[in-house]
Amino acid sequence: MPQAEYERDILQIKAMDSFTNGEGNLKGCRVSADQELPYPRSGVCANGFNIASDTIPSGIKRGLLELAIQVNGSELLINSSSTNVKRKKLGPLETEYFSGGSSVHVKTGKADAYLKPYKNNNGNNNLLERTMR
């Protein structure tokens, strides 16, 4: 970690940017229309307990610290996109893609362990589908 406080502040801001970017996955909603950050929130239940709408849970604080530690070595929000398009054709719409290709996915496992109880579906993005026969 950096020695200078302003450098640590920068890491904390980047961690909060990443956390705010994923706000759509958080349980509950902001308590005020004009609050700048995702927490505090109302309507949050974590680990079987209702979280008071005037507190920031320790799990959120620890998760943000883990994100700040991680952002010290790598970026959490990446500005890149790759569609792997090999060829496009407009008239009758045809698109061909390269096989393989690459994509970037940042893993934040340590932070997610703390943040998971405060996310919808405990942070799982899996969809369950049922087929009727």
pLDDT tens-digit readout, 48-58 = 999 999 999 99
pLDDT tens profile 20-79: 999 999 999 999 999 999 999 999 999 999 999 999 999 999 999 999 999 887 777 665
Tokens of 118: 């405060």
Residue that has been written with the tokens 């883990």 in this structure: 66
pLDDT for the residue 8: 93
Residue length of the chain: 133
User: pTM score, two decimals?
Assistant: 0.71
Question: Between these two residues, 119 and 84, which has the higher pLDDT value?
Answer: 119
Tokens of 121: 């579906």
Q: Could you tell me which of 107, 112, 122, 124 has the C-alpha nearest to residue 27?
A: 122
Task: Answer for the pair 57, 75: CB distance below 8 angstroms, yes or no.
Answer: no
DSSP calls for 22-73: TGGGBSSEESSTT-SSS-SEESEEETTEEEPTT---HHHHHHHHHHHHHHTT
Burial 26-40 (b: 16+ CB within 10 A, else e): bbbebeeeeeeebbb
The Cα 67–Cα 53 span in angstroms is 23
